[in-house]
Structure 1
Amino acid sequence: MGRARDAVRHARRVASPAASRLRRELQWRRARVGRLLVGDGRAQPCRVAEHATPLFRPLAGLDEELQRGKVVNLRLAAARLDGLVLPPGAVFSFWRHVGRPSRSRGFVDGLVLDHGSLSAGVGGGMCQLTNLLYWMTLHTPLEVTERWRHSYDVFPDAGRTQPFGSGATCSWPTLDLQVSNPTAATFRLEVGVTDTHLEGRWTSDRPVGLRYEVYEAAHVMEPTMTGAFVRRNVLRRRVFDLDGAQVADEPVAENHALMRYRPFLPSGDA
């Protein structure tokens, strides 16, 4: 019986990646997620949203070599995405366009978060790119149709400029980031890696006529029965017209993550 169980477990491990890939490809077909065309190299005339994040962070426990590997991986992925055009009704899929991060395609070991622990993995570092894309897209009329939250909060806030939970994790091919264009405008994605930053921009062929402000609400850090802490919040988005009048205040996402560090608690708190 023991050998039979081991054989079943081995078969499941072998079949799992193939089954995940098949399920994802079927989803791409059902959602009509196709290969988007690359533009002619010229940005659309209207800048809609842009953002940049540093490539290297001086955080304890981060292997410098893995950070350098991450940059290699980001350059490869950015080259696959830069210039993609999202016409009305089209759907963008991160993994559909980046493809499987493998050594044969030039990807190297980079930083991977596995259940809240730091490790090395081929193609590691892609989450920095999906984080950037997600944050930028929240500042456009494009719709995020698939996004996976981070399940662990690994590092204490150090100079945080965005709300907790404003990123999107990814894992080939099961955890994807997908964006649809419900508007009549055509959008173009620009992504690049400099010596110090990952940079991105959404441009459009016409003004969108709206401005977006993402903020957090209901933010708490709560202890669990085990003594660990869980961090929760709600992301919301204010929408303003060109005159500065607020036209909407809408929920974006709910986040909760197990904290891998102990939060600072004021004196007297448990």
Structure 2
Amino acid sequence: IHWMILHTPLKITEHHHHDALDLFPDYKRTIPFGTGTSICYNYLDYRFFNPTENTYQLLTWVTEQYLCGELRAEKRQEYTYHIKAEDEYFSLEDDGVYRNGAIYRTIIDPSSGNAVEKELIRQNHALVAYDTSKLVLVDRRIKCVDETAK
């Protein structure tokens, strides 16, 4: 749901991220680390509102393997939205290995292809909770040497 909302002009008013820990290594990750959210009973943990004149419909469903979603709009959105991770690295600190990076949302004018705005939406600093033996220190940062450990 959060991933879909990030690609719209809808405004997030409450968001709780499970970012204190990096619980498992990336394996075929399709969205950047740090773009998830925690949603709990009572629907208080994730809220957003629509400041636009456009009407949106949020659809969700599950398959045997995936949680799926679709966000529909009555009219075409004025802008497109791109979410990107930058400056991702692992760092060795006194209490363990941390995953670091920044998540940016760039708002694009589709008629010109120009960026209208670039905003930092999340700064990650998460303690890694899995085996880090496949990581190696390079220039005071830890780099992955194996795709399954990335």
Q: TM-score, normalised by structure 2?
A: 0.80
CA distance in 1, matches of 2:23, 2:135: 17
The equivalent residue for 2:24 is: 155
The equivalent residue for 1:191 is: 60
2:86 matches 1:217: yes
1:219 is aligned with what amino acid?
Answer: E
1:242 is aligned with what amino acid?
Answer: P
Stretches of 4+ aligned residues off by more than 4 angstroms: 267-270
> CA separation of 1:247/1:146 partners in 2, compared to 1, >3 Å: closer, same or farther?
same
CA distance in 2, matches of 1:195, 1:223: 38
Segments of 5+ residues of structure 2 without an aligned counterpart are 143-150
Segments of 5+ residues of structure 1 without an aligned counterpart are 1-132
1:107-122 equivalences under 5 Å are none
The equivalent residue for 1:177 is: 46
2:30 is aligned with what amino acid?
Answer: T
SS in 1 for 2:102: strand
**Count of residue pairs the alignment pairs up:** 137
The equivalent residue for 1:257 is: 126
CA shift, 1:137, in A, is 0.6
> CA separation of 1:262/1:245 partners in 2, compared to 1, >3 Å: closer, same or farther?
same
Q: Quote the sequence identity (%).
A: 32
Higher CA-based Rg: 1
The equivalent residue for 2:145 is: none
The equivalent residue for 1:69 is: none
CA distance in 2, matches of 1:174, 1:203: 21
Q: What is the CA deviation profile of residues 4-39 of structure 1, one whole-angstrom value per residue up to 9, with x for unaligned ones?
A: xxxxxxxxxxxxxxxxxxxxxxxxxxxxxxxxxxxx
1:250 is aligned with what amino acid?
Answer: E
1:163 is aligned with what amino acid?
Answer: P
2:118 matches 1:235: no
Q: Relative contact order (alpha carbons < 8 A, sep ≥ 6): 1 or 2 greater?
A: 2
CA distance in 1, matches of 2:125, 2:44: 17
CA shift, 1:267, in A, is 6.7
The equivalent residue for 2:136 is: 266
CA distance in 1, matches of 2:5, 2:62: 18
CA shift, 1:194, in A, is 2.5
CA shift, 1:156, in A, is 0.7
